[in-house]
């Protein structure tokens, strides 16, 4: 391996590729397999299992109910106290000084 400039490190070029949440597209063979499996009635399993989908839906439903119920059961005084403590916690954080 020949390096053109010894002062420049190839490992630290300053840029990292951005990550994407999308999966890689199927190549030709994978796409052909998917088409064949769909034509004979055997579909690939879904990316998320049925159980995880059901649990996610239950969590969303519980979160919506929980917030309303908490609002109804908390007294005005207690709700105000919680808000005050949260504000104090936010303001108590020290701001980081920018590096020079």
**Per residue of the chain (100 residues), what is the pLDDT tens digit?**
555 565 555 555 567 667 666 666 768 888 888 888 888 887 655 566 777 888 888 888 877 778 778 888 889 999 999 999 999 999 988 666 666 5
Query: Contact at 8 Å (CB) between 44 and 34?
Result: yes
CA dihedral 56, 62, 67, 73 (to 10 degrees): -160
The one-character DSSP state at 6 is T
Task: Determine the pLDDT at residue 77.
Answer: 94
Residue 83, domain member (yes or no): yes
Alpha helices in the chain (DSSP H): 28-39, 50-73, 76-92
Q: How far apart are CA 69 and CA 57, in angstroms?
A: 18
Task: Determine the pLDDT at residue 71.
Answer: 82
Residue 80, domain member (yes or no): yes
Which residues constitute the domain of residue 57? 48-87
Residue 41, domain member (yes or no): no
Residue 27, domain member (yes or no): no
Task: Determine the pLDDT at residue 96.
Answer: 60
Distances (CA, A) of 53 to 48, 56, 65, 96: 7, 5, 19, 40
Residue 8, domain member (yes or no): no
Number of domains composing the chain: 1
Residue 61, domain member (yes or no): yes
Supply 32's token pair.
């052909």
Task: Determine the pLDDT at residue 85.
Answer: 94
């Amino acid at each position: 391996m020949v390096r053109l400039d010894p002062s420049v490190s190839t490992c630290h070029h300053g840029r990292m590729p951005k990550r994407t949440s999308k999966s890689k597209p199927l190549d030709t063979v994978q796409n052909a397999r998917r088409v064949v499996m769909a034509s004979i009635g055997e579909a690939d399993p879904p990316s998320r299992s049925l159980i995880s989908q059901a649990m996610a839906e239950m969590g969303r439903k519980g979160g919506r109910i929980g917030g309303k119920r908490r609002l109804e059961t908390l007294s005005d005084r207690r709700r105000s106290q919680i808000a005050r403590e949260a504000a104090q916690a936010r303001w108590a954080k020290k701001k980081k000084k920018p590096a020079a």
